[in-house]
Amino acid sequence: MIVGAVFIAVMIGGLYFLVPKLAGLNHTWGELSHGDVLWLALAAFLELVSVAGYAVLFRTVFGRGMPRIDWRASIEIPLAGIAAIRLLAAAGAGGVAVTVWAMRIAGMAPRVIACRMVASYAIQYSIYLGAITVCGLGLWTGVFAGGGSFAITVLPAALSAGAIALVASMALVPGDFERRLDRLANRSGWPGRLAARLATAPATVGSGIRTAMDLVRQRRLGLLGAVAYWGFDIAVLGLCFKAFGGHVSVAVLVMGYFLGTLGSLLPLPGGIGGVEGGMIGAFVAFGIPGDRALVAVLAYRAISFWLPTLPGIVGYLTLRSTVRGWRLADQIKPGQVEDPPALQTRA
């Protein structure tokens, strides 16, 4: 609800500033054909690097103890997930479904899949929330150039810091929390059974957060894939501004990007419309001219949406072939690949 309220506020603010300028919209659309081709080509290349970063992160988190999750599968599964995210609605649920489906057939236990999904998202969105916190406070205090009102700097920063603290606190949930409540359920009748069922989520989240922390403590270089995933995608947006003669400070670019991506939470296929509106509204609220923001964001979305989607469809088709191979191997030699005993507590 809080995230939705912030996004709606950004959208309303953007429309307030943008609507008076829509009279020149035809001119703005015409400018899309006048962008600097070299900058746009570089942006397209960096988008592919961003996707590669996500594949590296995927292998780092999901590949441990899973011989089938080699580099080929680590590329195919994220690409197929990207295609599902782009073509379906519900804030990435399609990508989650594809990942779960593939990992189950690869032989990973459901509990381990859930744990590692949480770990992957924790790593990705710690960067997301951390960037909003640092850039928001930096813009408000003047440490970073760009300015911005309380509503688009301090408020998102405070909410992000609170979210970080809340998620980090889940690591304190005991590893045997679910087992303890199972024992309680056997003694306390239906209240205990209800508590045991409700305990599944915090136990899984806690396990995933601890797994993410363990990976960070181990200094896995593959975790830099998360930085590459976000960083190069933001760079694509920055290059789109440059291609059309716009200039945005780094902190404003980061804030506009992350506030705009909240639009992907709306039930729209691939976030189409929601992300664009959120980003344009955020940049206009930061004082970027509406026509510059519009052409840059539309160019960025054309690259970030369509460029990974086509390889994603190919990735899904090749993943189906890979999965058929796994199934055939299982028919010849049944068995399920799970984590070694040392990884059973923290997947």
Phi and psi angles of residue 92, each rounded to the nearest 5 degrees, phi first: 90, 5
Question: In tens digits, what is the pLDDT along the chain, a chain of 347 residues?
Answer: 444 444 444 444 444 444 444 444 444 455 666 788 999 999 999 999 999 999 999 999 999 989 999 999 999 999 998 888 776 655 567 788 889 999 999 999 988 999 999 999 999 999 999 999 999 999 999 999 988 889 999 999 999 999 999 988 888 776 655 555 555 555 555 555 555 555 567 778 888 999 999 999 999 999 999 999 999 999 999 999 999 988 899 999 999 999 988 876 665 555 566 788 889 999 999 999 988 899 999 999 889 888 888 888 889 899 999 999 999 888 875 545 444 333 344 45
Structure tokens at 124: 């990705």
CA distance from start to end of the chain: 31
| Of 75, 111, 113, 76, the residue nearest 96 (C-alpha) | 113
Structural Rg of the chain based on CA atoms: 22
Give the CA angle between residues 183, 116, 104 to the nearest 5°.
90
Q: What whole-number distance in Å separates Cα of residue 63 and Cα of residue 77?
A: 12
**Confidence (pLDDT) at 193:** 52
Q: What whole-number distance in Å separates Cα of residue 253 and Cα of residue 279?
A: 10
Q: Is the pTM of this model over 0.75?
A: yes
Q: What whole-number distance in Å separates Cα of residue 190 and Cα of residue 201?
A: 18
The DSSP letter of residue 265 is G
Using CB atoms within 10 A of its CB, is residue 86 exposed (0-12), middle (13-18) or buried (19+)? buried
